[in-house]
Structure 1
Amino acid sequence: MSGGSKAPPLLAGGNPQVAKGEGDAPVQAYIAAMPGWKSEVGRRLDALIERTVPGVHKAVKWNSPLYGVEGEGWFLGIHCFTDYVKLAFFRGTSLHPVPPVESKSNDTRYFHIREGDDFEAQLAAWVTQASQLPGERM
């Protein structure tokens, strides 16, 4: 980071510790702080979500960017781990096809992105579907 500003600390698994906040700025701070190849994945994800859901609502809560529809709740969260970026689709069991990784929560399903993965095509379909479902209130 430039201007002498200090990069946010990384928590377990390399997840950036970014102050919670509403809007694009805290999400961009999180993406900029994602370590190594994960930052590029974050930029690609954010751009894909913005293209797919015009006017998407963004926030960072619990050190994770959240994406939603204003007044409708959150449909997607992002979290960094050591070897992958985890996407949490809060109504994932309603998506077709269902994202592959199960959750302790009945409705949530996960998708893991690893270095070098090509994910845009499937993700655009899931984001479109997820944004049309009732969101999670957090």
Structure 2
Amino acid sequence: MAKSEPKSSKPTKAEPKLLSGGNPRIAKGYGDAPVQAYIAAMPGWKREVGQRLDALIERAVPGVRKAVKWNSPLYGLEGEGWFLGIHCFTKYIKVAFFRGQSLDPVPPGESKSAYTRYLDIREDGQLDEAQFSAWVKQASHLPGERM
């Protein structure tokens, strides 16, 4: 009689659920770990773009503060609020600059909010990393959103 494999006492880590539109459902949390969990759960091509965005943000703003709230990674400065958020949709990633109307040049995507501007990144689109980094640096010097 063959011996059966012992059962692991460790619970299996469940894959994060994707919400409607393909946005990862990640528990609210502060720090790099929940943001990295969100990025790891981004579907398909979006994961690589998420990794690149995160690296560009860290390079542009050393010591950036991170969190996941409302199933979206947020980036900000300690005591200054949040200046940027990321959210996955079915066909694109939306980057929200919360004070984007004050950036030069202003990011292309309009918002219902008077201050917020968006950058939509699609699978077949190119990310202008220099422009994105310039926006991130500028945004980090503006008053952040308290959320």
Q: TM-score, normalised by structure 1?
A: 0.96
- Corresponding position: 1:131 with 2:140: yes
User: Which residue number corresponds to residue 4 of structure 2?
Assistant: none
Amino acid in structure 1 at the alignment position of 2:63: G
- Corresponding position: 1:67 with 2:95: no
Look up the SS of the partner of 1:13 in the other structure: coil
Q: CA deviation at 1:4?
A: 3.8
User: Which residue number corresponds to residue 23 of structure 1?
Assistant: 31
Q: CA deviation at 1:8?
A: 0.5
Amino acid in structure 1 at the alignment position of 2:99: R
Q: CA deviation at 1:83?
A: 0.6
> 1:14-93 to 2 correspondence within 5 Å?
14-93=22-101
- Number of aligned positions between the proteins: 136
Worse overlay, 118-127 or 28-37: 118-127
Q: CA deviation at 1:12?
A: 1.1
Which of 106, 126, 137 is matched with 1:98 structurally?
Answer: 106
Identical aligned residues as a percent: 76
Amino acid in structure 2 at the alignment position of 1:127: V
* Structure 1: gaps of 5 or more residues: none
Moved over 3 A (4+): none
User: Which residue number corresponds to residue 11 of structure 1?
Assistant: 19
Amino acid in structure 2 at the alignment position of 1:66: L
Look up the SS of the partner of 1:58 in the other structure: strand
Matches of 2:58 and 2:82, distance apart in 1: 14
CA RMSD of aligned residues (A): 1.0
* Structure 2: gaps of 5 or more residues: 1-10
Matches of 2:17 and 2:31, distance apart in 1: 21
Q: How big is each residue's C-alpha offset from its partner over 1:67-98, in whole Å with a ceiling of 9 and x where there is no partner? A: 00110000000000011000000000000110
Look up the SS of the partner of 1:32 in the other structure: helix
